[in-house]
């Protein structure tokens, strides 16, 4: 009799555990509608002179070469690929930002993923395509692209570019994919919120396929 009582008790405990914790993996709900109720060109139209003035006010002194950049990097933070964003292979810039800009970049990546979670979408990382440029970098870019500006806000450690055309999916086993146009809508919503909070200036770059972003002093 005691044996049956113990077995029954064990079954009751096992049933209680299963019902209390039905699954270790949370199931994603149905994907919500992704939409951006605005205009990229109208909402993100801060021109170079606006970016440049704030960059000069907050940032470092431009450095002429990669060698000199090592000294300037002591005033900046090195940014690396992490859970929230991926750094593309940088050919014309170095992965350093002043602390305020580094914090802004991480907040963009976090807010982007939070928004995807609230939409029941898979997680993606944003892609950083350009960061801080030396004077030499700017000159080389000018030779390659006549539309690039010699007076670039990228020289001050305050400015970075985030692609709106490419993203990195975190879980490749997830069969649900979100196309780049809808991901751009999510990213634009995040950026518009930060722009309205006076945390940054933003230019929607159509040809370059990126958002050009400069951190602001919100005070």
pLDDT tens, position by position, 148-157: 557 899 999 9
Confirm if 183 and 167 have CB atoms less than 8 A apart: yes
Low-confidence winner among 62-66, 135-139, 143-147, 149-153 (lowest mean pLDDT): 143-147
What are the DSSP calls for 168-198, one per residue? EES-TT------HHHHHHHHHHHHHHHHHTT
Low-confidence winner among 20-29, 31-40, 199-208 (lowest mean pLDDT): 20-29
- pLDDT of 72: 80
What CATH fold (topology level) applies to the domain 32-215? Muramoyl-pentapeptide Carboxypeptidase; domain 2 (3.30.1380)
Q: Regarding predicted confidence, which is higher, 23 or 219?
A: 219
Domain boundaries, the chain: 32-215
pLDDT tens, position by position, 65-88: 888 887 788 889 999 999 999 999
141 band by pLDDT with thresholds 50, 70 and 90: confident
What is the Cα–Cα distance from 89 to 160, expressed in whole angstroms?
Answer: 14
Q: What is the DSSP letter of 104?
A: H
């Amino acid at each position: 009799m005691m044996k049956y009582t113990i077995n029954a008790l064990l079954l009751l405990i096992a049933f209680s555990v299963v019902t209390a914790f039905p699954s270790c993996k949370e199931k994603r709900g149905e994907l919500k509608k992704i939409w951006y109720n605005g205009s990229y060109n109208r909402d993100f139209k801060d021109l170079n002179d606006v970016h440049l003035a704030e960059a000069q006010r907050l940032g470092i002194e431009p450095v002429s070469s990669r060698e000199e950049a090592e000294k300037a990097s002591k005033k900046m933070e090195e940014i690396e690929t992490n859970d929230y964003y991926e750094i593309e292979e940088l050919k014309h810039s170095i992965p350093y930002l002043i602390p305020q800009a580094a914090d802004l970049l991480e907040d963009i990546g976090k807010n982007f993923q939070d928004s995807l979670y609230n939409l029941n979408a898979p997680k993606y990382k944003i892609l950083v395509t350009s960061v801080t440029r030396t004077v030499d970098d700017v000159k080389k870019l000018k030779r390659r692209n006549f539309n690039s500006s010699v007076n670039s806000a990228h020289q001050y450690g305050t400015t970075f570019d985030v692609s709106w055309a490419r993203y990195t999916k975190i879980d490749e086993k997830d069969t649900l994919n979100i196309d780049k146009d809808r991901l751009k809508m999510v990213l634009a919503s995040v950026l518009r919120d930060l722009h309205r909070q006076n945390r940054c200036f933003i230019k929607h770059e159509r040809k370059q396929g990126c958002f050009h972003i400069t951190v602001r002093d919100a005070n």
